[in-house]
Amino acid sequence: MASLIGSFALVFGLCLSIFIIFFSIKNFKDNNILDKKVVSLTFLQFFFVLISFFGLIISFVNSDFSNETVFNHSHTTIPIFYKISGAWGNHEGSLLLWLLVLTLFLFLFISTSKKQAKQYRILTLLFQQIIIIGFFIFLIKTSNPFNYIFPVPNEGLGLNPILQDPALAIHPPILYLGYVGSSIIFSSALSAASLSYISKGWAKHIKQWVLISWIFLTLGILLGSIWAYYELGWGGFWFWDPVENVSLMPWLALTTLLHCILVLEKRLALTSWVVILSIATFALSMCGTFLVRSGILNSIHTFANDPERGLFILIFLFILIFLSIAVFFFFHKNENQNIKNLFWLSKETSILVNNWFMMYFLSVVLIGTIYPIFLEVFSSEKISVGPPFYHSLIIPFLIPFLIAMAFAPRLKWIKSKIEDKIQMIIFFVISFFISLLIVKNFDIDFLLNTILITSAFYLFFITLKDFFSKRIGNLAQNLAHFGFSLLILSILFNNIFSKEVITNLKIGETFISEDFKINFENVDKKNEKNFKAIIGKFNIENIDGNIEVLNPELRIYNQPNIITSEADIKTNLLTDKFITMNVVQNQDYFNVRYQVKPFMIWIWISVILISFGGLISILKKKYEN
């Protein structure tokens, strides 16, 4: 029943698009005010998609296996929380969620942009409707979440156990708010470009949307990363997997856009940058959807290997790209030429420098991600691009980037000179000596690491100092930059100081190394509703005699029948202790992996700080208004 309602609601939602387009085109030329009908219809469309979404959730909660999606991704024994999150833990449901956010954001945009010109609002609405219609058709035609199966099966196939996890349950909605938020920026930029509406006021208005998408995208990536850290069981948090890359690319574009918007808001320069980046952010999000959903790449997120789906998104993506290129070239007029008389030492120039750095990082990630596809098509050769590629291309450029990040915010608009030169140099020297002390005790690539840590420390100290300085102009920016320095430092220390032991242990055995002893005391069994667990008890004795007990688990899920290994992690401010165990077939010992990972929690904290910077910026705007 719920499925039936959901299914009809989808079709109604699609039909509403026609009315919305009809009334908005009629409204575009005539009155001076926006037709109330358009606003209500937009709300109605959102409402229908919401009904459809609830229909799917209700089908999942009731375990209605006559619905194909429910049958494929749920089971009666799964806890209710994962039944609900299972609704978007699959291809069809996640697209419905995507559509929900699209219509929600459009409604929010229309109802909050009252101060903007009518024509601009309507054109944005029209561009957004193109995207919405595309997704409606995609959903109904190739990935309908409400397909009916008969005879009705008694039991579902179950939800993949690695998706039965709180972080992953909220990861898709948060990430989609970021991805889809960029669709509003895209439509709005195209609309503003074609109407020559780009102004300081427009920048101010669109900045809110950029910030919102950026915060959600940052948090969404963070959640995915945390999940990978404790669920995939080998203690890393970023694998340069294509799926991670496709979320990083829009993030890089969006971050650059965020900086450009600042210039546009203050100086009405870099307009073309803003338009191109707005297009690029959304195109990259869509491109990510294509790469992930079409099965062209092998990855953990490839739910669906259906070429028809891939073809649809591919064609849709390129229609949008060609449309935006056409708009950019034939409607967008780059009137202001202030850009030519930029003074070399000014905020504008520094942001331009930042842009080029970001574009470089973006291209590295883009090439690393899609080059294998190109190579395979042209030469049938299969390669995979791994961390060494990204590290060797990105790390050296991180050094000037970090240093620029430290002093660029201190520059003034238009024309500036470096102040507090002596202070800046002192900070640099201090950073250098600290890094030297840290690096010299370790057998690592000396020169590169020293310089890298120096530059990260430099940014760290400068931004830290600015929190206490009287002329703190921009708390949001300073917090975000401080968070970034902390992120780089934590990642570096995490890499340098990590210790790892992989060994096979029988119950009762002890592994002894220089720094710690691992004693495998016993195993315990536990029965849960949808899985059986084997819990190991490990006593870790540190060099100082402290004993900690860690309990990694092996979970044998009943539906589908999959064994997962749950890490046990003891976190404190300085270091994470991470242990996983795995069964070895036909043997009475377990494979044990123990890692000491310093500053792990600071990686998460620093990303939260970065997004907090964005939040403060939004709140400040609200407060000023």
Partner 1 sequence: MKTKISFLLLFTFFLIVFLTFYLGLQKSNIYKPSLKIEKDIPIYKVRTLESSNRINSEEVFKDNRFYLLNIWASWCLPCRDEHEFLIDLSKQKNFEIIGLNYKDNINNAKKFLKELDSPYKLVFLDKDGTVAIEWGAYGVPENFLIYNKKIIKKIIGPIDQVSFLEIKKIIQ
Binding site for partner 1 (CB under 8 A): 290, 294-298, 305, 307, 310-311, 314, 318, 321-322, 325-326, 329-330, 373-374, 376-378, 382
Q: What angle do CA 274, 278, 281 make, to 5 degrees?
A: 135
Q: How far is CA 499 from the centre of its chain?
A: 28
Cβ atoms of residues 515 and 543 within 8 Å: yes
C-alpha 261/C-alpha 572 separation (Å) is 39
Cβ atoms of residues 614 and 209 within 8 Å: no
Residue 383: what are its φ and ψ, rounded to 5°? -130, 160
- Cβ proximity to partner 1, 325 vs 502, nearer residue: 325
CB of 18 to partner 1, least distance (A): 28
Cβ atoms of residues 274 and 264 within 8 Å: yes
DSSP secondary structure, 365-416, as one string: HHHHHHHHHHHHHHH-------HHHHHHHHHHHHHHHHHHHHHGGGSPSSS-
- Cβ proximity to partner 1, 66 vs 324, nearer residue: 324
- Cβ neighbourhood burial of 84 (10 Å; 0-12, 13-18, 19+): middle
Omega before residue 560 within 30° of 0, cis: yes
Produce one character per residue of 31-47: b if its CB has 16 or more CB atoms within 10 Å, e if not.
eeebbeebbebbbbbbb
CB of 374 to partner 1, least distance (A): 5
The 8-class DSSP code of residue 26 comes to: H
- Cβ proximity to partner 1, 79 vs 386, nearer residue: 386
The terminus-to-terminus CA distance of the chain in angstroms comes to: 47
- Cβ proximity to partner 1, 372 vs 613, nearer residue: 372
Find, among 544, 563, 560, the residue nearest to 552 by Cα.
563
- Cβ proximity to partner 1, 321 vs 601, nearer residue: 321
- Cβ proximity to partner 1, 243 vs 261, nearer residue: 243
Question: Residue 536 forms beta bridges with which residues?
Answer: 523
Q: How far is CA 428 from the centre of its chain?
A: 33
CB of 28 to partner 1, least distance (A): 26
C-alpha 13/C-alpha 114 separation (Å) is 24
Phi-psi region of 79 (alpha: psi -120 to 50; beta: other; left: phi over 0): beta
Cβ neighbours of residue 201 closer than 8 Å, sequence gap 6 or more: none
Q: Does the CA dihedral 80-85-89-90 come out positive or negative?
A: positive
- Cβ proximity to partner 1, 322 vs 397, nearer residue: 322
Q: Which helix (H) or strand (E) holds 516?
A: strand 516-527
CB of 359 to partner 1, least distance (A): 16
Question: Residue 566 forms beta bridges with which residues?
Answer: 553
- Cβ proximity to partner 1, 3 vs 278, nearer residue: 278
Q: Which amino acid is at 190?
A: L
CB of 314 to partner 1, least distance (A): 5
C-alpha distances out from residue 437 to 152, 427, 446, 465, 474, Å = 68, 16, 11, 22, 33
C-alpha distances out from residue 233 to 236, 417, 597, Å = 8, 50, 13
Token pair, residue 318, equals 């390129």
CB of 93 to partner 1, least distance (A): 23
Phi-psi region of 256 (alpha: psi -120 to 50; beta: other; left: phi over 0): alpha
Neighbours of 248 (CB within 10 A): 22
Cβ neighbours of residue 22 closer than 8 Å, sequence gap 6 or more: none
- Cβ proximity to partner 1, 290 vs 357, nearer residue: 290
